[in-house]
Amino acid sequence: MNREVAIVLTIENSVGIINIGSLMMSILEHTNADDVVKFYVLVNGDIDDDGKKILKKIKWYYSNCLINCVDIQKCIEIKRGEVTCEELDGYYRILCPELIDEDECLCLGSNIIVKRDLTSLYERKIKDGCSIAGVRSLEATWDNATNENLQTALGLDNLKQYIYSDVLLLNLNRMRQENFVGESITLLKNTPSLTFQNLINKVLFGKIDYLPLQYNVSNEYFLCIETWFTEIYTEEELYYADQFPVIVRFGHLQPWVNSRQRGSDIWWRYAEQLLEPQLIGQLKNLEKRESGSSLKVSLLGESKKYKSIVIFGFTKLGKDILDFLMDEGVEKIRCFCDNSMEKRDQLYRGMKVELLEQLKFNLQDTLFINVSQRAYNSIDNQLLRFGIQYENIFHFMNKKNIQYYMTLDDKYYRQELQWIKEREGDYNVDILNLPLEELEKMLKAKEPGEAVKYLIDKYWMNTWFLAPGRIS
């Protein structure tokens, strides 16, 4: 076809090449060989040597791609410190109309993977009068206080047009004509905590076209028809999203942290083609460290390797970790870190809360325990930007939570049930001695007994093993 397709990707720093490398490979594998994909990678700073090797490999595998890395720091108007945001790379996309010399482009987040042919997306045109196209948000349709507050904060009549920001088609010409960049930056200066997703929905309200659901299918939610049936999705959309998802979006945990979630096997397949065996081993060790069942034992082992320890997160869990380490005789803890100014200088068991920038001791020989359960990626990126190495960060996942089970790949269900049976067997011998096949039958029974109901509720089985529908 000899078509040229412009795709914009953003990363906060060179480390992010690891993630978008797999995404780029998945895009190219599902692109016609006659089409030329022009990648624009917006990055804060230069790409390091390891990152350049990854990009070189991608071009070796696929000759129909061009990669242009744009150092955003040389032209960005939003300086660090002036804007409060969880993921700075999201804000880089604001500048697309000025940085990308194209009529239109596909703008993608780094937390997705492509599973099927993209031709229909490449051929799709944004309807007249619209500047952007994306998939409508399911969560924005829920009737709750959070959405009421969001609607009020954004000053919108309703949230029916509200879209996700991970997969976007941009009409760059129209956005230039409407001064999207200038209007967005002015808005950010007045409302610095506005997220990128909220920003585009506010600035472009009334100028939004919609993509079918199959182009942005979250792996956090099973396709439970009674949950997903809303006025924003048609039956046909739900069917194709369920049976033929084109782009799958990862949840709070990235594939190298939880390889058991849907879509992560694809990410790992590409990663193993791009990364050196040593780095693959490090990533797999990182996953074991962060999601293992004996996490406190692992934490004790890690603490012996460092001269200092900092607990990032002055929360109940952070305090619990401090209690645990002190009770185990660990004396290397220097302080808490937290981004909240309100918590600054507070004390717990003699440990003061400090800002990251205040730390004066040798950070290269310091273990940072990241206790954040939902803003994990944000804290990790902050530490990496500050110069902390990957191996110095230990993420303490308190327990397998509802997101873990909601995203669990079907092929791990029986193994997970076996683990549950063994864990619960410490408290209920009858469960431990029950054959796995019998336990499955009891879980699926119309009227399960109290002990089985307890397991269903404790492990959120209605969101995975007993879910009415599943994302493929």
Give the strand pairing for 247-249 and 217-218.
parallel
Q: Please choose, from the candidates 222, 270, 275, the residue with its C-alpha nearest in 3D space to the C-alpha of residue 462.
A: 222
What DSSP string runs through 19-62?
A: HHHHHHHHHHHTS-TTSEEEEEEEESS---HHHHHHHHHHHHH-
Residue type, 68: N
pLDDT at 141 over 80: no
Rounded to whole angstroms, how far apart are CA atoms 122 and 353? 50
Q: How does residue 74 score in pLDDT terms, banded at 50, 70 and 90?
A: low
The model's pTM: 0.73
Distances (CA, A) of 270 to 13, 59, 206, 217, 400: 20, 14, 39, 20, 26
CB of 33 closer than 8 Å to CB of 133: no
Give Cβ neighbours of residue 75 (< 8 Å, ≥ 6 apart): 95, 98, 99
| Residue-wise pLDDT tens digits, 210-225 | 999 999 988 876 445 4
| Residue-wise pLDDT tens digits, 11-57 | 876 667 878 899 999 999 999 999 999 999 988 777 888 888 999 99
- What does the pLDDT average to over 159-179? 93
Two structure tokens written together for 81? 């410190």
pLDDT of residue 335: 96
- What does the pLDDT average to over 146-175? 89
Residue type, 10: T
